[in-house]
């Protein structure tokens, strides 16, 4: 038996490939996405056909080394 997935919308906001997505049962209408553009976006999902997700907050990387990371919002 194979599962079928259906595209419901596209989230636009990153300028690089999305590398990770996180969700939580406590906030089912929220998604966090991380990208190769060194940003993290918190999305609020909507039911609107033309705008499926609205970026709520974006964090951009300012400086990092393998042991530490500094961000700004």
pLDDT digits (tens, 9 = 90+) for 25-62: 998 888 889 888 888 888 888 776 666 666 666 666 54
Mean predicted confidence (pLDDT) in 8-12: 80
Q: Residue 16 pLDDT more than 50? A: yes
Q: How far apart are the C-alpha atoms of 27 and 68, rounded to whole Å?
A: 28
Mean predicted confidence (pLDDT) in 8-26: 88
Q: Which domain holds residue 37?
A: 27-60
The answer to whether residue 34 is domain-embedded is yes
Mean predicted confidence (pLDDT) in 3-10: 82
The answer to whether residue 13 is domain-embedded is no
Mention every residue, 6+ apart, whose C-beta is less than 8 A from residue 24. 30
The answer to whether residue 39 is domain-embedded is yes
pLDDT of residue 59: 63
pLDDT of residue 37: 86
The answer to whether residue 44 is domain-embedded is yes
Q: Residue 22 pLDDT more than 80? A: yes
The answer to whether residue 10 is domain-embedded is no
The answer to whether residue 66 is domain-embedded is no
Q: Parallel, antiparallel, or unpaired for β 39-45 and 30-35?
A: antiparallel
What domain count does the chain have? 1
């Amino acid at each position: 038996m194979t599962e079928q997935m259906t595209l419901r919308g596209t989230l636009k906001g990153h300028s690089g490939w999305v590398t990770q997505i996180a969700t939580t049962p406590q906030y089912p209408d929220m998604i966090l996405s991380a990208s190769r553009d060194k940003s993290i976006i918190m999305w609020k999902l909507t039911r609107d056909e033309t705008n499926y997700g609205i970026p709520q907050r974006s964090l951009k990387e300012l400086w990092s080394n393998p042991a530490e990371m500094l961000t700004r919002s």
